[in-house]
Structure 1
Amino acid sequence: MKVCFPVEQNDGAASSVYGHFGSAPGFVVYDTETEELDFINNSDVAHEHGACNPVAALAGRSVDAIVVGGIGQGAIAKLMQDGIQVMRSASGIVEDDIKLYVKGELENLTMNMETCSHSSHSCSH
């Protein structure tokens, strides 16, 4: 499985999970089978607020799960519609969240939850 983490900068496994999926400069992707890390620049970082296109953001790359610090309701709806599991970061560090993900200890997010962290921007959703 491929697990994606929005990050401010690519520090590999030591990257900090960014506070909001759509405006993250990039994504660290961890492959649970090969244990390899990859980096994707956010191709949709300049979108209008509330108009995040997760597939465009990931440059069309396929992932199975996303671990976020925060995410808007529109993005979570689009990801869930595409069968992508969305979970909340517990530690804020990719390496630690990978361990928690593998153990099945991360919280799944749903449409009825407060999903936006509000820490990296001001928003009204």
Structure 2
Amino acid sequence: MKLIIPLDENQGPISKLCDHFGSAPFFGVADTENGAFDIIENGNSEHDHGHCTPADAFTGMGINAVICNGIGARAAARLQETGIDIYMAGLARTVEDALARFSTGTLNKVGPKQACEGHDCH
């Protein structure tokens, strides 16, 4: 399974998660099947609220799910329209922590109605 994780920094598996998906300067790309982990830049981190288009950046990458601490309703809906599931990371601080929680099955899968209404929701 391929996962996307929004990050504040590019420090490998110890990178800190960004609290809001669309504003993340980087995204971690984790492959749970082969253990691969890469970090890519978010070319759309500077956008007006409600205009996040993350699904466009991930098209063709084979992404199955996003693990995040927060995500706006429009971004969540857009991802889900393309078949990408969303899991809340339970305020995980690092990639390692988020992936460990995901692997134990303790993260909640969410829908657009459970997404953030603004950047002050965390």
TM score, norm. by length of structure 2:
0.87
Q: Which residue of 2 aligns with 1:35?
A: 35
Percent sequence identity is: 37
Q: Which runs of 5+ in 1 are unaligned?
A: none
Post-superposition CA distance 1:54-92 (Å, at most 9, x none) = 123447533111011111000000011111010111222
Q: Which residue of 1 aligns with 2:105?
A: 104
Structural RMSD (CA): 2.0
Distance 2:117 2:4 in 1: 18
TM score, norm. by length of structure 1:
0.85
* Change in 2 beyond 3 A, CA 1:60/1:9: farther
Q: Which amino acid aligns with 2:37?
A: L
Q: Number of aligned pairs?
A: 120
* Change in 2 beyond 3 A, CA 1:58/1:43: farther
Q: Which residue of 2 aligns with 1:4?
A: 4
Question: Does the 8 Å CA contact 2:65/2:84 hold for their aligned counterparts?
Answer: yes
Q: Which runs of 5+ in 2 are unaligned?
A: none
Q: Which moved more, 1:76-85 or 1:41-50?
A: 41-50
Structure 1 residue 96 displacement after superposition: 1.3
Question: Does the 8 Å CA contact 2:27/2:40 hold for their aligned counterparts?
Answer: yes
Structure 1 residue 106 displacement after superposition: 0.6
Question: Does the 8 Å CA contact 1:69/1:117 hold for their aligned counterparts?
Answer: no
Q: Which residue of 1 aligns with 2:69?
A: 69
Write out the 4+ residue segments of structure 1 that deviate beyond 2 Å after TM superposition. Answer: 55-62, 115-118
Q: Secondary structure at the match of 1:75?
A: helix
Question: Does the 8 Å CA contact 1:8/1:25 hold for their aligned counterparts?
Answer: yes
Question: Does the 8 Å CA contact 2:89/2:101 hold for their aligned counterparts?
Answer: no
Distance 1:59 1:79 in 2: 10
